[in-house]
Amino acid sequence: MVQNEIPRETVRQALTVAHQRQWRVLWNVAPVVPMEVGWLGRDDIVAVNESEASRLTGKDVVDVESARLAAQRLMEFGPGMVLVTLGALGSVAVSREWGTMVIPAREVIPVDTTAAGDTFLGVFAADWDGVSSPEPSLQVATAAAALCVTRSGAQNSIPQRQEVITFLTSSV
């Protein structure tokens, strides 16, 4: 997993090394910098929130449909999957292998959204096996992010796995 809070050349080198080792990359394109064709492989994943998707595509991303269209546009950069998080609207994933997946958000009363995106991506990366459909892992990640925003702070707002499981089973 890489993100853009490190130098761009470091991101590029990390992608190169990962591909040489045949590792899948999850690239959180935040803060936003222009993406380049050829940096990503077909097993890689790009993750953006709605404002980042808007900046990268030049189109307003304000709902599930505009997120789906933005994800499809970002697929042109070569990844196998694009994740667009939409806060209270949930998330949209577009995948070459599994098609489009829309994951609705869990209803909560938000307190602080500081670590929501990092929680979502960390839980998704830890939960998905990379072989079966990513949809169940996206649901787990969505639940974890929902729990996260009900608390103040960053690291201390990230829920434990058992909390997420309990939340998933109690809010169905």
In 3D space, the residue among 59, 60, 84, 58 whose CA is nearest the CA of residue 71 turns out to be 84
Cβ atoms of 45 and 64 closer than 8 Å = no
118 belongs to the catalytic site: yes
Catalytic member of 43, 118, 127, 129: 118
- Which amino acid, 31? P
Q: How far apart are CA 151 and CA 114, in angstroms?
A: 9
Q: How far apart are CA 1 and CA 122, in angstroms?
A: 9
- Tell whether omega for the bond before 31 is within 30 degrees of 0, i.e. cis: yes
Cβ atoms of 75 and 82 closer than 8 Å = yes
Q: Which residues are catalytic?
A: 118
